[in-house]
Amino acid sequence: MAVSAVLSAKMFGKSVMPFQPPGIWKSPYNGADWKLSEGEDQYRRAVYTYWKRTAPYPSMIGFDAAMRDVCLPRRIRTNTPLQALSTLNDSAYLDMARHFAKRMEHTAGNDVRKQIEKGYEYMMYKSIQPAKLDILIGLYNTSLKAFRGDAKDARALTGIALNRL
C-alpha cells in the first residue's frame, strides 16, 4: 500500500473491512456479512483489519499470521507458494498494482522506460541498472502483446477501458 501511495496514515479507531470476495466470511451463527470499508479505511494497516477467529482475513492466513486463540512470543519468518499466489491473484493486491501503475504514469508520463525506472526506484529505493531495465521493458512488451491478444481478459484483470490497451 505504501508503494502504491494509498496507505492511510489514520491512527486508532474501529476495525476496518478491506476488500474480500463475497461468501468467504459467512457466519453460520448470526448471519453477519462482511461490509466493505469505504474511502481511506480500505487502505489502513492490517492491524486495523477486523478479525474473526472462525474466519480470519484470507491474506493473513496465507502470510502465516498468528491465530488469535494462542499467544506467541514472536512470529516466525516464512515464505510459501501460497503467498506468491495471494499477491498474484487476490483482488486487494490487484487493486494496489493498479494504484501503483497510476502512480508511475502520473510521475513519469507516458514513457514506459521512465515509468519502470520510477517504479523500481519507489520499490527498491535505488536506481535500476540498465541490464535490469532492459529485462523489465522486455517483460512489459511481452505482457502487452499478450494482453492485446486477449483484450477481454486484460480488461477484466486491470479494470480499465478496452480502448486503452
Query: Which one of 80, 106, 141 terminates a domain?
Result: 80
pLDDT in tens, 36-57: 777 777 777 777 677 776 677 7
The Cα–Cα gap between 140 and 120 comes to 13
pLDDT mean across residues, the chain: 79
Task: For residue 59, give the C-alpha cell.
Answer: 491474506
Task: For residue 121, give the C-alpha cell.
Answer: 526506484
What b/e readout covers 45-71, taking b as 16+ CB neighbours within 10 angstroms? eeebbbeeeebbbbbeebbeeeeeeee
Given a contact cutoff of 8 angstroms between Cβ atoms, the answer to whether 133 and 141 are in contact is no
Query: Which one of 22, 51, 80 terminates a domain?
Result: 80
Same domain? For 74 and 94 the reply is no
Range of the domain at 121: 90-164
Same domain? For 75 and 106 the reply is no
Q: What is the mean pLDDT of residues 81-91?
A: 77
pLDDT in tens, 123-153: 999 999 999 999 999 999 998 888 888 878 7
Query: Which one of 45, 80, 115 terminates a domain?
Result: 80
Same domain? For 65 and 130 the reply is no
Domain membership flag for residue 24: yes
Residue 1, H or E segment: none
- The residue with greater pLDDT, 87 or 48, is 87
Quote the pLDDT of residue 27.
65
The Cα–Cα gap between 23 and 143 comes to 32
Percent of the chain with pLDDT strictly greater than 90: 22
Q: Is residue 59 helix, strand or coil?
A: helix
Same domain? For 40 and 96 the reply is no
Q: Number of structural domains, the chain?
A: 2
Same domain? For 113 and 75 the reply is no
Domain membership flag for residue 34: yes
Task: Work out the pLDDT band at 162, boundaries 50, 70, 90.
Answer: very low
Same domain? For 59 and 39 the reply is yes
Domain membership flag for residue 85: no
